[in-house]
Amino acid sequence: MCEICEKRVSQIWPEIPEGTQYRTPDLHRGKVFNIGKKSPRNIQIIPQNVLIMKDSFVAAIHYLLQNEHYVNNPCEIRSSNSKKNAGPLCVVSRSKNSNVCCINCGS
């Protein structure tokens, strides 16, 4: 992974407050979730009870930067519990998360 991505995630990590509610950006399958417990290596997403490794966030940021996905060049997330149906961002993220889908999964 690139040092820039690791540094950026490490800068943001302490600012992620436990108990905060968010909504995934998918307009059709979007889900509300809360940040449960957070450690230096991972965060828990509730009520879905998914553990996401910090390295998964680093991998996602690296993929987005490497493929020049910005506001004017959005990335198709295409999340899926089925790895063969998952898009590249989902696959990259789960590769650093014990192959557990961690982006808006459920189908």
Q: Does residue 101 belong to any structural domain of this protein?
A: no
Residue 104 near residue 77, CB atoms below 8 Å: yes
Q: Which of 25-29, 48-52, 70-74, 80-84 has the lowest mean pLDDT?
A: 25-29
**35 in any annotated domain:** yes
Considering the chain, what percentage of its residues have pLDDT values greater than 70? Answer: 96
What residues contact residue 99 under an 8 Å CB cut-off, 6+ apart? Answer: 83
Query: Is pLDDT of 3 > 50?
Result: yes
Residue 27 lies in a domain: yes
pTM: 0.87
For 64-103, the three-class secondary structure string (H helix, E strand, C coil) is: HHHCCCCCCCCCCCCCCCCHHHCCHHHHHHHHCCCCCCCC
With a cut of 50, say whether residue 63 has pLDDT above it: yes
Q: Is residue 105 part of a domain?
A: no
Instruction: Work out the pLDDT band at 76, boundaries 50, 70, 90.
Output: confident
Grade residue 80 by pLDDT with cuts at 50, 70 and 90. confident
User: Is residue 100 assigned to a domain?
Assistant: no
For residue 102, being part of any structural domain is answered with no
Q: Is residue 50 part of a domain?
A: yes
Structural domain total, the chain:
1
* The pLDDT of residue 68 is above 90: yes
Say what the pLDDT of residue 1 is: 60
> Tell me, what amino acid is at 17?
P
Mean pLDDT of 95-106: 82
Please report whether residue 107 resides in a domain.
no
Domain of 46? 3-95
